[in-house]
Amino acid sequence: MKKPVYIFSNGELKRKDNTLFFENEEGKKYIPVNGTSEIHIFGEVDINKRFLEFATTSEIILHFYNYYGYYAGTYYPREHLNSGYMILKQAEHYLDNEKRLELAKEFVIGASKNMRQAVRYYINRGKNLQDIENEINNLEQHIDECLQIDELMAIEGNIRQYYYEAFDEIIQKPEFSFVERTRRPPKNNLNTMISLGNSLMYTTCLSETYKTHLDPRIGFLHATNFRRFTLNLDVSEIFKPIIVDRVIFTLLGRNIIKADDFEKTTDGLLMKEKAKKAFIQEFENKLRTTIKHRTLGRNVSYRRLIRMELYKLQKHLIGEEKYDAFVARW
């Protein structure tokens, strides 16, 4: 099974014959071509055309992150599974407001139910979150009434706002208080963790999209434009509460990441490399974790669940089976 590779050091990615390696002043580290699905680059890394050509033929995706660990962009190799028919079907469902709304609503419903499941999990463990669960549930009832994507996005934003209010009760650490959602740059420790986790979720969903017939440029909840991938953002909404947020709760609950793992800079808050590596390790552990699939009757990993979600979307687009978003059982 192919695995992702993470690079934190500065150096150069190179090709030699039919192998890839990373080189810096500490030496060379070879990258197993047949065992690598994608490379996540956090350091200052030089790449040349020969490397990119070989990465393309080897179907290896490159994800780039900036100095603060936020997603910067992706080198997305020529799509080996790309289907003209599927692109037409995606475009058809995007351009038809009714068809687009049907899918967009399902992404929001799936995200909302997974957020509500997370809140319910902690209510059952004595956390005072009943009011938040009720607010999320009330907003959820209005999703089907939306006639425009903007209305739907507004409800999704309000649901997520209530959901984030639960974090302080769940975490109960003043140095990791939520306050409000801030981005680019995040203004406190918890927001820094959320931003890193969401970036990893976006790139994971993008990598899994590459293994399907779907085009990542055509989403349904998030507007398609000339500048970015959007389908991975749609699918990420479903999985952020059950992967990213669980990782955050685990790391803070076990004191693996602490307040002194962050430092202020002129442009924002920086998570130190040791903490960043711990976060990514826990994130990958979560993706490898298996659960019993209700339909298949066998164990599947969370990474596989993301791919299966995309397969379900493909079936919906070609008229085989209506799409229903995945909802976790905490």
Tens digits of residue pLDDT in 160-171 = 999 999 999 999
Q: Provide Rg for the chain, Cα atoms.
A: 20
What range defines the domain where residue 27 resides? 3-65
Q: Which pairs count as long-range contacts for 218-226, CB under 8 Å and 24+ apart, including other chains?
A: 218/87, 218/90, 218/91, 218/94, 219/94, 220/93, 220/94, 220/100, 220/103, 220/104, 220/107, 221/103, 221/104, 221/107, 221/108, 221/149, 221/152, 221/153, 221/156, 223/149, 224/94
- Residue 27 pLDDT more than 80? yes
User: What CATH number is associated with residue 207?
Assistant: 1.20.120.920
Same domain, 40 and 137: no
pTM value surpassing 0.75? yes
* CA gap 169, 127 in Å, rounded: 7
Same domain, 178 and 234: yes
Same domain, 198 and 120: yes
How does DSSP classify residue 245?
Answer: H
For the chain, what is the total number of helices (H) and then of strands (E)?
11, 12
- With residue 54 as reference, give the H or E element that holds it: helix 49-57
Same domain, 180 and 297: yes
Tens digits of residue pLDDT in 287-314 = 999 988 877 778 899 999 999 999 999 9
* CA gap 214, 208 in Å, rounded: 10
Q: Write down the pLDDT at residue 265.
A: 83
Q: Do 312 and 322 contact (CB within 8 A), yes or no?
A: no
- Residue 274 domain flag: yes
Quote the number of domains for the chain.
2
Same domain, 18 and 93: no
